[in-house]
Amino acid sequence: MPATLYVVATPLGNLGDLSPRAAEVLRTVPVVAAEDTRRTRGLLAHLGADPSLLSFHAHSNERRLETILDILGDGRDVALCSDAGTPGVSDPGPDLVAAARERGFAVVPIPGPSAVATALSAAGLQGDRYLFLGFLPRKGGDRHRLLQRAAAEEWSVVLFEAPQRLVALLEDLAAVAGPDRRAFVARELTKLHEELRAGTLAELAAHFAETSPRGELTVVVEGTGAPASPPDRSEEALEVAAELLAEGVSRREVARRLTETHGLSRNDAYRLVTGLS
């Protein structure tokens, strides 16, 4: 039988959250690929499991991925584990999963703990639909764009953040979403010093500015409750139309292209083009 890559969700902190199925897989597979071998070694010791353990993390090179594929090719099953939670969700895994499937190996998810679902369940904010943004870029245009997206999102938004950057994130969110937007911070989920704190963005920023957070953090921001307004692309459409007209493209053709590329109605596109003619 072809070997199997098991994608195993592991506890966020409390070892009692490991499912019996996950425990059985970790006890029986010959090889475990772990984001942090120190963390996973402790879990394996708790289970009395002794598979071969190798490192596979976000900075692993192509050779390590090929090593795991070679192990699967030899007919040995592999379990993929991240530090905590579900592999592939802001953790290593997607490239290995895609490569294993492409080579014909079975990929079997072993579900379990997820910081996203756990935080949403305790936030008291709507979780039937949500946007997960993971860790935002530390600076630059991409950070600004995603902050704006979070502020305008109709549904709850879930983010991860490092302790030393939490206050900056909450302050930046307050600047774009308003200081009174409701939010929730989950710290050290399921661990001994778990902290669950709800409040406005301004209140949360003030609290954690006074009490420096430690550990792993998940932030949930309340959605607006209404669809975001479509972006105003009229200036961009004007520039495109002017360039096309200067190239000799007919007004009818320019209007047609604007309806396809900029979402303008046929009448609005033609009105814009004739105004430039």
Give pLDDT tens digits for 82-103: 999 999 988 889 999 999 999 9
Same-domain pairing of 105 and 206: no
d(CA 139, CA 122): 29
Q: Is pLDDT at 228 greater than 90 in this prediction?
A: no
Are 131 and 107 found together in one domain? no
Q: Which of 113, 130, 165 is a domain's end point?
A: 113
Residue at a domain's end among 83, 113, 143: 113
CA dist 24 and 262 (Å) reads: 53
pLDDT beyond 70 at 19: yes
Distance CA(22)–CA(17), nearest Å, equals 10
The β-bridge partners of 197 are 185
- CA nearest 187: which of 168, 210, 166, 157? 166
Please tell me which residue, 146 or 231, carries the higher pLDDT value: 146
pTM over 0.85, yes/no? no
Confidence at 202, pLDDT banded by 50, 70, 90 = very high
Task: Say yes or no to pLDDT of 140 above 90.
Answer: no
* Residue 260 pLDDT grade (very low, low, confident, very high; cuts 50, 70, 90): confident
- Percent of the chain whose predicted confidence (pLDDT) is above 70: 98
Its domain, for residue 195, covers 116-221
- Mean pLDDT score of the chain: 93
Specify if 226 maps to a domain. Answer: no
Please report, rounded to a whole number, the percentage of residues in the chain having pLDDT higher than 90. Answer: 78
Q: What pLDDT is stored for residue 233 in this prediction? A: 65
Question: Helical H runs in the chain?
Answer: 20-28, 37-47, 62-73, 94-102, 115-123, 141-152, 166-177, 201-210, 234-246, 251-261, 266-276
Q: How many domains does the chain have?
A: 3
Do residues 134 and 37 both lie within one domain? no
Q: Which two tokens stand for residue 150?
A: 């979070």
How many C-beta neighbours within 10 Å does residue 197 have? Answer: 15
Q: What is the pLDDT of residue 237?
A: 85
Inter-residue contact 120 to 156 (CB < 8 Å): yes
**Is the pLDDT score of 232 beyond 90?**
no
Phi, psi of 160, rounded to the nearest 5 degrees: -105, 150
Instruction: Identify the band that residue 17 occupies on the pLDDT scale cut at 50, 70 and 90.
Output: very high
Same domain, 8 and 98: yes
Residues 99, 71 share a domain: yes
Confidence of residue 230 (pLDDT cuts 50, 70, 90): low
Structure tokens at 243: 């360039």
**Residues 109 and 122 both lie in one domain:** no
Do 181 and 200 form a contact (C-beta atoms < 8 A)? yes
| DSSP tag of 190 | T
Whether residue 227 lies inside any domain: the answer is no
Residue 228 lies in a domain: no
